[in-house]
Amino acid sequence: MSHPVIAKGNVAVITGGASGIGLAAAMAFARAGMKVCIADVDQTRLAEAATKLSSVTAATHVMTFVVDVSRAESVKELERAVGAHFGGTDILMNNAGIQPGSTLFGEPDNWQRIIAVNMWGIVNGSRIFAPSMIARRKAGLIINTGSKQGITTPPGDPAYNVSKAGVKAFTEALQHELRNTRDCHITAHLLIPGFVFTGLTAKGRTEKPAGAWTPEQTVDFMIARLEAGDFYILCPDNDVPRALDEKRMLWAAGDIVENRPPLSRWHPDYADAFAKFVKGE
Ligand SMILES: NC(=O)c1ccc[n+]([C@@H]2O[C@H](COP(=O)([O-])OP(=O)(O)OC[C@H]3O[C@@H](n4cnc5c(N)ncnc54)[C@H](O)[C@@H]3O)[C@@H](O)[C@H]2O)c1
C-alpha cells in the first residue's frame, strides 16, 4: 500500500464497520498499521468484528463505537470519542447503509429510514468530521459509499435509489468545497461498489453468487483507485465489467439529451435500441 494517508499510526473511522465492506476496509487499514474505529448500530456484530481486528493488530489500535449515523447527535458523540481516544481522524469512511426494500406508494417508514441512514448518515458524517479533519492541516480522506443504483436508478427500490443519488450529489459538492478551501488537505471520494456478497445482499444465501465480488476484493480495488487519485471509485464485479457500466451510465444520461422517457433502459419500446447501444452498433 502506498497511499500516504493509509499509513502506520494514522486513524481510520468506518461507519457500518462491523460487517461487509466496512469491516473489510477496517481490516485492510489495520493491516497497514492504522488505528481503526469501527462504528456501527449493531453492538453484537461490533464486538465480533473487534475480535477479528485484534487478530491483525494490537487491541489498543482498535476502538468500537455504537452509533446511529442517521442521528447527528450520535455522530457528534462518535467524533468527540475518536478525538479523545485517538487524537483525530485521518480517514473517514461513511459507509453505513441499509436496503430493506421499498415501493413507490408503500412502506412510508422504509422511505424515512432508508433516506435517514443512507443519505443523512453520509451528510452527518461528512459535516461533523470534516471541519476538525481540515483543521489538523494534514492530508486525509473522506470516502462515502454510494451505489450504481444512485446513478442509473433502476426500477425496484426507489427509496434506495433516491438515497444513493443524494450521496452522489452530496459527495461531489463536498469534494468541490474541499478543493476550494484554503489550507485543506482532505479529499472526498465516492465509492461505487458493484454487486458485493454481504449481509445487505445475501438475502438468505450462504454461498457467494458467482457474479458477486467479496468485500475484500472491493476494498483492494478501492485502495488501488485511491492510490491512483480517483474521485469516482467505480467497482466492477464478476458479471459487470467497467465498459458495461459506462454504457449504462451514458444511456441514463442520454434519456435527457435524447428526450427519451425516464428509465428508457427498462421501457419495451427502447429495448432494441439499448441492446444495440451496448453492442456499440
Ligand atoms: N453489497 C453490495 O452489493 C453493495 C452495492 C452497492 C453499495 N453498497 C453499500 O455499501 C455499504 C456497506 O454495505 P454492505 O454491503 O457492506 O452491507 P452490510 O449490511 O454488511 O454492512 C452495513 C453495516 O451498516 C450498519 N448500519 C446499518 N444502519 C446503521 C446506522 N443507522 N448507523 C450505523 N451503522 C448502521 C449495519 O449494522 C451493518 O453492519 C452500504 O452503504 C451499501 O448501501 C453495497
Q: How many CA atoms lie within 13 A of 251 on its CB side?
A: 26
Task: Sketch the domain layout of the chain as residue ranges.
Answer: 11-239, 241-281
Cα 268 from Cα 62, distance rounded (Å) = 52
C-alpha cell at 186: 482532505
- The tens-digit pLDDT sequence of the chain (281 residues) is 579 999 999 999 999 999 999 999 999 999 999 999 999 999 999 999 999 999 999 999 999 999 999 999 999 999 999 999 999 999 999 999 999 999 999 878 899 999 999 999 999 999 999 999 999 999 999 999 999 999 999 999 999 999 999 999 999 999 999 999 999 999 999 999 999 999 999 989 999 999 999 999 999 999 999 999 999 999 999 999 999 999 999 999 999 999 999 999 999 999 999 999 999 98
Read off the pTM: 0.98
Is the distance from the beta carbon of residue 157 to the nearest atom of ligand 1 less than 6 Å? no
98 neighbors 199 (Cβ within 8 angstroms): no
Instruction: Sheet containing 35-40: give its strands across.
Output: 62-66, 35-40, 11-15, 91-94, 140-145, 186-192, 232-234
Class of domain 11-239: alpha beta
Question: Measured in angstroms, how far is the CA atom of residue 97 from the centroid of ligand 1?
Answer: 4
Question: Measured in angstroms, how far is the CA atom of residue 49 from the centroid of ligand 1?
Answer: 14
123 neighbors 142 (Cβ within 8 angstroms): no
Q: Tell which one of 21, 148, 171 to mutate to probe ligand 1, the residue whose CB is within 8 A of the most ligand atoms.
A: 21
Active site residue 270: no
Question: Measured in angstroms, how far is the CA atom of residue 157 from the centroid of ligand 1?
Answer: 16
Strands 91-94 vs 62-66: parallel, antiparallel or unpaired: unpaired
Residue nearest atom 40 in ligand 1 by C-alpha distance: 97
Query: E strands within the chain?
Result: 11-15, 35-40, 62-66, 91-94, 140-145, 186-192, 232-234
The candidate with the shortest Cα–Cα distance to 265, out of 108, 145, 154, is 154
